Structures are given as C-alpha cells and as structure tokens.
Amino acid sequence: MDVAANVSEAPRAALPRWWARPRSGGLAALAAVIVLLPLALANNYFYEVAILVALNATVCVGLNLLIGYAGQISLGHAGFFALGGYGSAILATQYGLPTWLSLPLACAGVALLALLIGRPTLRLKGHTLAMATLGLGVIIAIVITTEDRLTGGPDGMSVPALVLFGWTVSGERTWYWITGAVLLATVWLAFNLIESPRGRALRALHGSEVAAQTLGIDSGRAKLQVFVLSALVAALAGALMAHYTGFITPAKASFLHSVELVIMVVFGGMASVFGAVVGAAVLTMLPQLLTVLKDYEMMVFGAALIATMVFFPQGVVPTLAHWWARRRSV
C-alpha cells in the first residue's frame, strides 16, 4: 500500500536541463500553455474542463509534495478539499461574512485542523498511515453528510458567488484565468520548496527517515509542515471549485475522490511537479473524452493505475524525461 516507496529516485544529472532547473524553462512553458490555451477553447464547455483540470492539478501538486517528496501516503485529501468549499460556503451563508474573507478563513481553518490531526497521525508509517488518513477522510464525509443544518446534508448546499472587493467573479473565461494563475503560483511555490534546504530534507526523509534523523533533520516537523501545506492547497482548490460551480455536495469528500487524486499523482509521476500537472490533466480529460464509459469511470482510473505501475513505474512524465535524456546522450 506504500505506493511512494515504489518510486525510484533517478539522478538529477540525467534529466534534461529544463527539467532539472524548471525555473529556466519549465515554469515558463506552463505559463505559455495557460496563456495560449484559450486560442483552442471553442466554447464554455472546454473552458469548464480547463478550469477543472487547473483545480485538480493544483490539488495534485500539493499532494505530490506529501506523497512523492516526503513519502507519506494520504487517502483522505478529498476531505480537506471539501472542507475548503463547505467552510467558505457556511461562513458566507450562515454567518454573513463576505466571500473574500470567508475563503481565506476556511483555508486557514483547514490548515489548523491538519496541524492538529497531523501531529499524532504522522507518527504512523506505511499501511497504518494510509488507514489513518482513510479514516480521517471517511469521518469528514460522514460529518458533512449528517450535519444537514449547516451543510444541507446529502443534497449539498448552494455556494454564493465569489466577490472580491465589490467585483463579482463570474464567467468561465474569468474563472479560467483565476484558476490558471492559482495553478501557476502553486507550481512556483512547489519548486521553491523543493529547491530549498527544506525540500532537500524532504527528499532525504523519503529515502530513509532514520538516515535523515541521523543527519539532524527533524522528521516529525518536516512531515507535519508538508502535510499542512498540502491540506491548505487542497482547501484552496476546493473553495474555488465551490464558488465557481455555485454548489457543493458530500461527494467531494468521498473516498473515491481521494483515490482519484492519488491516481493522478501516481500516473503523472511522484516526485515530479510537472508529472502531477500532467497526470491531473490527462485523467481529468479522459472521462470527458470517453463519455460512453462514464458509469465505469473508476474502472478506467484503476486500469490507468495498473498500466502505469506495469509500464511506467516512475510515472509517465519522469519515464519520458529519462528516455529523452538517454536519447540525447547517444
């Protein structure tokens, strides 16, 4: 079950220059894609898919920091995603807060919850950690479903439009630029973290927690910090999703949603920021392309995971990057 342990670390020197130093090209390439993509989006439906891709990719980049770099599996991240949306909606509708305030407060509340829960939970390892995070996600989903006075119960609840200092955010094109900017900022933040001493500590922790502690790394603190950060990113994406769609249901906190997020990370490539983006993009668009298989969506995700583990054990993007590096060196 410890999926992160199956990922082998490849020498950074074997990677193409733009991959090893993403600020010099990779981040700019992502920005170029975000800027130029509207030229290929014919109508609002395609904008909706692009927005969904950006939000899923944002969550996966944060989750990849936890799974791919820190080596800690989480099967309950959909709970943080849903809490961000529900928290902002409840603060705005039940307590009358403006949405520009309810959204950051909801994200801060989720981060605080992750901090409190993470202290005891992250002492666990492997299968026990996976089961603990699974239980956390189930508890969140049950609370959201049963507290119908606040959340609307199984039917969900309406979410007011996002208003930023008097400006109501509306329209697919506006939301596209907002979610694209959030994704770009999240990727930039992830790269800065990875290339910092704290990021190197996370990689050492992933390789061997005992060895990392021998080097003086506070493993508990490092794991807790990245856990809180990944929960915060998920909550932000969930809040934006709720305000964009104008509605949210307990399905956003379901175990299946958590599994989908993990599969996106594994498919694209753990310990790869761009892999998380590509994995989210491919597996978000896949159900849209295969509408005839909509009832078998989880089967498609499962087949994608099996194929990735068999043919691309490092994930699609790292495998292709290594192949390209070897080809150039010949």
Per-block mean pLDDT, blocks of 10 residues, the chain (330 long): 43 44 73 94 93 97 92 92 97 94 97 94 86 93 93 94 91 96 95 86 76 78 92 97 96 92 91 91 83 70 81 84 78
Strands 247-248 and 163-164: unpaired
Work out whether the CA dihedral 61, 66, 68, 74 comes out positive or negative: negative
Whether residue 328 is contained in a domain is answered as no
Considering the domain boundaries, does residue 227 fall inside one? yes
Domain for residue 178, yes or no? yes
Q: What's this model's pTM, rounded to 2 decimal places?
A: 0.88
User: Per-residue pLDDT tens for 136-167?
Assistant: 999 999 999 999 999 999 999 999 999 988 89
Decide if 12 is inside a domain.
no
Q: 74 lies in which domain range?
A: 34-257
Q: Exposed/middle/buried for 287, CB within 10 Å: 0-12, 13-18, 19+?
A: middle
Q: What would the pLDDT profile of 196-235 be if each residue is shown by its tens digit?
A: 888 888 877 777 777 777 777 887 888 899 999 999 999 9
Distance in Å from the first CA to the final CA of the chain: 37
- The first and second tokens of residue 21, run together, are 């130093």
Overall domain count for the chain: 1
